[in-house]
Amino acid sequence: MRRRDFITFLGGAAAGWPLAAHAQQKLPTVGFVGQNIPSSQSQWTAAFAQRLRELGWIEGRNVAIEYRWAEGRDERFAEIAAEFVRLKVDVIAVGGTSAVAAAKRATSVIPIVFATVGDPVGSGFVASLARPGGTITGLSTVSADIAGKRLELLRGVVPGFRRLAIMGNVGNPFIVVELGEVYAAAGTLGLEAATYEIRHTADITRAFEALKGRTDALYVASDPLVNSNRTSIHTLALDARLPSMHGFRELVDTGGLMSYGPNFPDLYRRAASLVDKILRGTKPADIPVEQPTKFDLIINLKTAKALGLEVPPQLFALATEVIE
């Protein structure tokens, strides 16, 4: 090869080296753990991705997002967390006590951001809300603390409300806490309460068989197991002529009577802001755990009519949304 041609060859090759090196660089990667199936939390996921885009993180350009779905099965959380550790993701974004616990067991190195956890201090995820310490931070839903408010709202719709059935997945540590809070709040309000424990899908039908005819209303503690079975829960509740109270709107969309709780899309949007801070170098230990600022009261008027219930005007005035 002549000297001039060799120099030309070297120049062309060198020009291509940065591009090749760039192509081989691993994008910062977020491992996103979905509690159920994509359709059941599409609004939450969309809010998360949209906020990342607003903060300059364009999927496929300067960030990668690996989505995995637990499909309402708690055992999937450990599998997903282990996969994210193998993939060496830079941040794990997750919601729910059981899912965060699985991620915490899988890694003490990868930062974890939770969008929804009821009691992050009591669950041992953070040292305190103001100073999390360690590798975990996020948003607390404080849902157990508003159990009494939910019962008061339910009593405003159900005439002669004296007996309450409380249903929840006792395999979820936070739900156990919430069930206790609801039971205590029921006592304060002078209600007779009975708790019906579930752990698996098959337990739901058995619980309804046990409570049928013994209660005036149903409080359902919301978690991935409940969310993935929400259609069958509401079919059974309507068959039993039971008005139901829930923690978030997706359970009212499919036939529940009412929900009162934090706005979950807003929580996931704010979780994305925390992910942004970590991707830019802030340590989770230095990011305080945040709390909800937006709460929604959702009423399903179609379900109310099917149950023969009148929704008082004052509740209509308080409602964030009425589903007709």
Correct CATH for 9-141+263-294 of 3.40.50.1820, 3.40.1390.10, 3.40.50.2300, 3.90.1150.10: 3.40.50.2300
Ordered alpha helix ranges (H), the chain: 3-24, 42-54, 75-87, 97-106, 147-155, 173-188, 201-211, 224-228, 230-239, 250-253, 264-279, 301-306, 313-318
Residue 57's φ and ψ, nearest 5 degrees, are -100, 105
Query: Could you tell me the end-to-end alpha-carbon distance of the chain, in angstroms, rounded to an integer?
Result: 80
| Inter-residue long-range contacts of 64-67, CB under 8 Å, 24+ positions, other chains counted | 64/27, 64/28, 64/29, 64/30, 65/29, 65/30, 65/32, 66/29, 66/30, 66/31, 66/32, 67/32, 67/34, 67/38
pLDDT for 177 equals 86
Question: What's the one-letter identity of residue 152?
Answer: E
* Chain Cα centroid distance, residue 167: 18
Is 257 in contact with 243 (CB distance < 8 Å)? Answer: yes
Residue type, 70: A
324 residues of the chain, pLDDT tens digit each = 444 444 444 444 444 444 334 445 789 999 999 988 888 789 999 999 999 999 999 999 999 999 999 987 888 999 999 999 999 999 999 998 889 999 999 999 999 999 999 889 988 999 999 999 999 999 998 755 688 999 999 999 999 999 999 999 998 888 888 899 999 999 999 999 999 999 999 999 999 999 989 999 999 998 888 988 999 999 999 999 999 999 888 889 989 999 999 999 999 999 999 999 999 999 999 999 999 999 999 999 999 999 999 999 999 999 999 998
CA distances 193 to 87, 258, 313, Å, are 47, 19, 28
d(CA 134, CA 131): 9
Intrachain domains 9-141+263-294 and 144-262+296-323 with the same fold: yes
Yes or no: say if 92 and 31 are a contact pair by the CB < 8 Å rule. yes
* Closest C-alpha among 119, 121, 144, 148 to residue 132: 121
Cβ-based burial of 31 (10 A; exposed 0-12, middle 13-18, buried ≥19) = buried
What's the CATH code, domain 144-262+296-323?
3.40.50.2300
What are residue 219's DSSP bridge partners?
Answer: 166, 245
Q: What integer pLDDT is reported at residue 35 of this predicted model?
A: 86
List the chain domain ranges: 9-141+263-294, 144-262+296-323
What is the structure's pLDDT at 36?
Answer: 83
Judge whether 295 and 262 are in contact, CB under 8 Å: yes
